[in-house]
Amino acid sequence: MEVMTRYIQDEVPWCMLFADDIVLIEKTKEGAKAKLELWRNALESKGLHLSRSKTKYMEYIFSQERNTYIGDVTIGDQIVKKSERFRYL
């Protein structure tokens, strides 16, 4: 997977790959939505897919200014579940 997606990968820690797991980090929900869509398209073009049932996102708000609701994170038309904790293997 690393070779097939090299052209869309960001540097660590913004993008981390391990076996068939991907961690993507973005500063905004809009950025996360765009990055998920980019990865979904790239993987599907190679005959692979993102597991919508396993995909989750985690939000961390660094300041009160960014506490505005901008909608759900989605893959296509499916809402991605929110997680309260993260563990990277």
**Is 38 inside a domain boundary?**
yes
Question: Does residue 88 fall inside a structural domain?
Answer: no
Considering the domain boundaries, does residue 1 fall inside one? no
Kindly report, residue by residue over 43-88, the tens digit of the pLDDT.
999 999 888 889 998 887 767 665 556 678 888 888 999 888 887 7
Count Cβ atoms below 10 Å from residue 72 Cβ, excluding itself: 13
Rounded to two decimals, the pTM is 0.76
The residue to which tokens 């973005």 are assigned? 26
What was the pLDDT predicted at 43?
92
Domains in the chain, number:
1
The whole-angstrom separation of Cα 50 and Cα 5 is: 13
Three-state SS at 22: strand
| Residue 71 located in a structural domain | yes
Range of the domain at 65: 6-82
Torsions phi, psi of 29, nearest 5?
A: -65, -35
62: left (phi over 0), alpha (psi -120 to 50) or beta: alpha
